[in-house]
Each structure stands twice: as structure tokens, then as C-alpha cells.
Chains A and B, each alone.
Chain A
């Protein structure tokens, strides 16, 4: 096990290292001047431009430049935005919190019904209830999220006026951003009308989180169902019945734990889906997260922001994947055995 953890961590570090090389190269591949692309300082600001160029080692060869790039990266100096001269790193920190807030909440909301419906569907294999759940998940999985969000806004927010359309909180509440996550920020700021502020924030967050949770939930239903069906065919389920255990006991202590093993392995694809949708949802609901900032900066050609945003999201995905692998190996003994046999 220890060897496996070590191997995974080493692989992670190597991959992250490759990722920084890629991000570094981006400033050359983007149109325009690499110094501007990486630091966010235009060449007409002669003084600072010269500063940036020398501090980033642009007088040296490509290796020196990369070395300086890494140094800046770890110092937290990721350049400034070409548009509004905000420091990229600080902004990303704030927006990262906001993104995580809706992504994690949506994931949590998707998790329980997704798994439950998947199990239910598998237990009623080829019965009407299975067909209903299956067609629901297939069509739910095919709804383009941006269209779904628009309909939700049109119906819930505009037609019925139940929830606000966009933003994190009513701007009248003066909440200073600390973590970026609005619910945490209210808690940290402790404004005098905290109850009202929470109410407003929750009203704002409900719609995006619900819309965002639909697709992962549908995918989770399908993953859980197929994995449950696999497991229910296994011999150890038969032998559990042969011991005289009740159906409920067999399902809860043998079938579901084993089915979750496959689901955990597939969670990576769920994560991809979640991240893609989070970016789109952020744009639609004007949520101040990484995704909306990244997309805006792509058509504004704000290269330091693109570079930083990509680096952060990709690094996040890689770390989560390694974490999933480790959980998988830690929780499931026979995976460990396979790993030892091959390594």
C-alpha cells in the first residue's frame, strides 16, 4: 500500500510538472508578446515592462525563463489581468471558492438521489419502475445544460418570480469576500442582519445548484444501476442468500458496498461532467467563479487569466483523480492485491 501511495504521488508530481511546462509554453503559443502574455503588462508601459521581462528572465534562454516562471508560480505572482490589472492569483483564490461552493453543493445533492434511484432501478430490473428511471436518466442526461438553465430561469425566476436570476447575493448586503464562497463569507463577516443575508444568499444559490446537480445525478443513476446489476449476478450474493440472510441485509451489506467500488472508479467521469457544466452555469447565472472568468477572458484575450485559470482547473482535476485512486485502493482490498501483483 505504501508503495502504491508513493507511486501515485510521484506520478502526480510529474504530471503537475508537465502541466506547468504546458502552461509556460502557452504564453508563447498565444498570439502576441510572451512577456505580456505571462505577466499581463503591456509593452507601452516601458518601465514596468522592462522590469517584468528581466524578473521573468526573458534575457536568458528558454530554460532560464521556465525557471523564473516556476519561481513566480510558487511565489503566488501569476501576473495581472490585461483587462482590469487585477492580480490573477488573488482573484483566482476568491473565484475558486465560489466555484467550489456550487460544484460541491451540486455534487452532494446529486449523490444521494442518484445512488438511491440507481439501486432502486437495478433491484427492479426490467420492471416498469426500472424503465421509468432509465428513460428519465437518459433524457435528463441529454438535456443541454445551458438550455435547461434558461428554461429554469424563465419559469422559476421570471414567470413565477420565486428566485433571483443571477449573482451570489443581493448587492445591498456588503459582504467582504474572504474565501469566495458566499455562505462561508457571511459566516466570517458576521454582518448585523446575518439571517437576512443567509436567506438572500440561499435564494441566489438554489437555482444554479439545482440545475447543476441534474446531470451528475442522471449519470450517477446509470453508473450505479449498471454496477449494481453486475454485482447482483455475482456468486457471493447467492451465497449470502444461502446463509439465510434477508434480502435487505444482502443488499445493504453485500450488494451496495461492492457496487460502490465501480461507482467510485467512475467518479472521474462525473467530475469532468461537473466541471464542464459548472463553467457554463457560472456564465448563465453570472456566478463570480473561475469558469465564467475563464470564458470571459477567452473572448477578451486576457492571456494571463487564461493561463492561470487553466492551470488551476487542470491541477484540481488531477489531484481529485489521484485522491480517488487512493481512496479506491485504500477501501478495496482486492484492488491493492492487483496493484501489488502488477507493480
Chain B
């Protein structure tokens, strides 16, 4: 006799839905997510949204304060800098340099780092343990210092800085991927798959990957945060983006001399940078919490 189904069906939300629920639960985190999406839109469509060119100097509007101040002009919502360049335009263009390019660089180095990490994890033995030690050493050296070394060899410049940061991030992804796979490898479900006689390729793509993708996503946000901060820091130290480029870090560096007279020139790129970093960190943190909750179940 078939047993009647006494229990109503309970639907467990899928992992992605749970992440979304976690974002829904925390209004700050959701705001952060929207900010990132907004900045991404600015990166892509920025040039069509801006009233002026990034380096266009409007001679009758030099060092104008933001529009809500008494001396402000509504043509320049956030004022102009000491050369008569519109701040709104420069900030929007800057999103490309400070957020867009690092974003692409992180994606590229993630792709390289993760595949190298997967290869490294599938090999075992002396090679692997030497690699682990070397990576540990490499990880202990700050990313900015490594980027400085590379820039010392290649010379300053935005493209060199991007290249340097991309190179610096690769070992981090490699390390994380390798460690994650190594941790998973110990677990019984992997042994079960191996006993089923699956190939290495299948093991990697169907067994390991779905289980380490969470770790990788978190590492992606960490990497993005590092890349943005380092690009801005290099720009600020005048080793990254050079002078007229509206990169937020180098804008901060240029504002040093005039910050006492026109503080908004310094405040605006800083606020933009701060908001971006907070959002990236907050989204990363929320993802981490959501994933941790899933593991606890």
C-alpha cells in the first residue's frame, strides 16, 4: 500500500535565491549592490551622459564651487576645477579608469589564476608543495609593493599599472583555487566520485567547481577591492594614470595644491572612490555571510 503523502512540499530556495534573500534582508547591502550596478552603467555609457569632454577647459568657469553654493552655476552641478574642467564629467569618466579597467583586469587575472590553480591542484608531490611555499611567500608581500616592483621595471603609466596589478592578482587567485580544491579533495563525496571512476576533467568541472565557486566569487570581490584601491593609490603616487587622465586617484593627487582654496576638487573624487570601495566590500561581505549561512544548514 503506498503511503499517503502527509507532508506538504517545502521548497528550499536555490543558492542564488538565498543570496538574493540575504541582500533583501539588509537594505545597506542592497544599496551597495545598486551603487555598483550604477557605476557599471556609468563605465559603459559615461561618454554619452556627460555634458562636456573630460579635458575640455571652460575658461569663463574656473574653480566654480558646486551648484548649491552661492557662487555656483547650474551648468556645473558639482563645480569645476582650477583649469575650468567640469567635475561631474571628470568623475563620470573617472569611473572607467578606477572601476571599469580594474574590473576587466580582475576578470582576466581570475581566468588565468583559476585555471592555473586548478592545474596546480590536480598535480601532487614535491612540485606542488614547493609551489605552495613559494605562493605563501608571494602572498605575504603586499600587492602594492609587488605592483611597485613591476612598475619600477616597466616604468610608470596607466597601462603598466593595470598590467602590474593584473600580474599581482594572478597568484592570489591561483592560491585560493588551489587551496579550495585541496580542501574539497579530502571530503568523502569526492572519494565517492572517484570510486565511480570519473575522469580528472569531469572531477574538476562537475565535482570540484560547483563546490568552490562560492570561494572564488568572494575572492573576486576581494580582488576587485584590491585592484581599485591599488590603481587609485598608484595614480595618487603619480606612478599610474598620468596627469590629465581623470582617474580618481590622480585627480586626488592634482588636487593637493588647490585643496585649501577649492576643497570640493579634493572631496569629490575621494567620495566617489570611498563609495565604490564601501560598496564592493559590503557586497563581498554580504556574499560571504550568505554563503556561510548556506554552509550552516
Which residues in chain A, 125-155, are within 8 Å of chain B measured between CB atoms? Answer: 135, 138-139, 141-144, 146-147, 150-151, 154
Contact A144 B232 (CB under 8 A): yes
A283 in contact (CB, < 8 A) = yes
B259 and A283 contacting across the interface, CB-CB below 8 Å = no
Interface bits A251-295 vs B (CB < 8 Å: 1, else 0) = 000000000000000001001110110011001000000000011
Query: Restricting to A277-327, which residues have a CB under 8 Å from any CB of B?
Result: 279-280, 283, 294-295, 298-299, 301, 303, 306, 310, 313-314, 317-318, 321
Confirm or deny: A29 has a beta carbon within 8 angstroms of a beta carbon on chain B: yes
A135 touching B237 in the complex, CB below 8 Å, given contacts A26-B153, A144-B229, A151-B270 = no
A-contacting residues, B257-293, CB 8 Å:
259-260, 263, 266-267, 269-270, 273-274, 277-278, 280-282, 285
A1 sits at the interface (CB 8 A): no
Q: For the complex, is A158 an interface residue (Cβ under 8 Å from B)?
A: yes
Flag B201-222 by CB within 8 Å of A: 1 or 0 each. 0000000000000000000000
Q: In the complex the two chains form, is A144's CB within 8 Å of B237's CB?
A: no
Known: A144-B273, A146-B252. A276 touches B236 (CB 8 A): no
A108 on the B face (CB < 8 A): no
Q: Are A154 and B145 within 8 A (Cβ)? A: no
Which 4 A-B residue pairings sit nearest by Cβ, starting from the closest? Answer: A147-B270, A272-B142, A142-B277, A142-B278
CB distance from B187 to the nearest CB of A (A): 18
Asked whether B156 lies within 8 Å of A314 as measured between CB atoms, the reply is no
B239 within 8 A of A: yes
B155 partner residues in chain A, CB cutoff 8 A = 31, 301
Q: Judge whether A142 and B144 touch: CB under 8 Å.
A: no
Cβ of A15 within 8 Å of any chain B Cβ, yes or no, is: yes
Minimum C-beta distance from B259 to chain A (A): 6
- B140→A147 contact, CB < 8 A: no
B145 touches A314 (CB 8 A): yes
Cβ 8 A contact of A147, one of B141, B225, B252? B252
Binary contact readout A28-55 vs B (1 if CB under 8 angstroms, 0 otherwise): 0111000000000000000000000000
Cβ of A280 and Cβ of B233 under 8 Å apart?
yes
Q: By the criterion CB–CB under 8 Å, are A299 and B259 in contact?
A: no
A196 at the interface (CB under 8 A from B): no
Q: How far is the CA of A172 from the CA of B141 in the complex (A)?
A: 38
A11 within 8 A of B: yes
A154–B263 CB distance below 8 A: yes
A142, B260: Cβ atoms closer than 8 Å: no
A272 close to B281 (CB less than 8 A) = no
B152–A15 CB distance below 8 A: no
Determine if B151 is an interface residue (Cβ-Cβ < 8 Å): yes
Collect the chain B residues with CB atoms within 8 Å of residue A303's CB. Answer: 152
Q: Is the CB of B273 within 8 A of A268?
A: no
Contact A15 B236 (CB under 8 A): no
Q: Give Cα A36–Cα B264 distance, bound, in whole angstroms.
A: 45
Q: Residue among A144, A276, A294, A301 with the most chain B CB within 10 A?
A: A144
Contact A138 B260 (CB under 8 A): no
Q: Looking across the interface, which residue of chain B has its beta carbon closest to that of A151?
A: B270
Contact A295 B141 (CB under 8 A): no
CA distance A154 to B261 in the complex (A): 10
Question: Quick one: closest B residue to A303, CB to CB?
Answer: B152
B281 and A146 within 8 A (CB): no
Tell me if B145 and A313 are in contact (CB < 8 A): yes
Chain B residues in 8 Å Cβ range of A142: 225, 274, 277-278, 280-281
B30 within 8 A of A: no
Q: Are A144 and B140 in contact, with the CB atoms below 8 A?
A: no
Question: Which of A138, A142, A310 counts the most B-chain CB atoms under 10 A from its CB?
Answer: A142
Q: How far is the CB of B98 from chain A (nearest CB, A)?
A: 10
Residues 111-136 of A, flagged 1 when their CB comes within 8 A of B and 0 if not, give 00000000000000000000000010
B149 at the binding interface (Cβ < 8 Å): yes
Q: Contacts of A295 on B, CB cut-off 8 Å?
A: 148, 237, 239
Q: Does B137 make an interface contact (CB < 8 A)?
A: yes
Tell me if B182 is interfacial: C-beta within 8 Å of chain A.
no
CB atoms of B141 and A144 under 8 A apart: no
Asked whether any CB of chain A lies closer than 8 Å to the CB of B28, the reply is yes
- Whether B133 is near chain A, meaning CB under 8 Å from some CB there, is yes
Residue of A11, A15, A144, A275 touching B145 (CB-CB under 8 A):
A275
Query: Are the C-beta atoms of A298 and B152 separated by less than 8 Å?
Result: yes
Q: How far is the CA of A29 from the CA of B151 in the complex (A)?
A: 11
Chain A residues whose C-beta falls within 8 Å of the C-beta of B255 in the assembled complex: 150
Please determine whether B140 and A150 come into contact, CB atoms closer than 8 angstroms: no
Among A151, A268, A276, A294, residue most surrounded by chain B Cβ atoms (within 10 Å): A276
* Bound complex: CA A283 to CA B239 (Å): 13
Contact A298 B141 (CB under 8 A): no
Instruction: Give min CB distance, B258 to chain A, whole Å.
Output: 11
Q: Are B28 and A154 in contact (CB under 8 A)?
A: no
Q: What are 16 of the A-B contact pairs (CB < 8 Å)? A: A15-B137, A31-B153, A139-B278, A142-B274, A144-B232, A144-B236, A144-B270, A144-B273, A144-B277, A154-B259, A275-B142, A276-B233, A298-B151, A310-B149, A317-B142, A318-B140
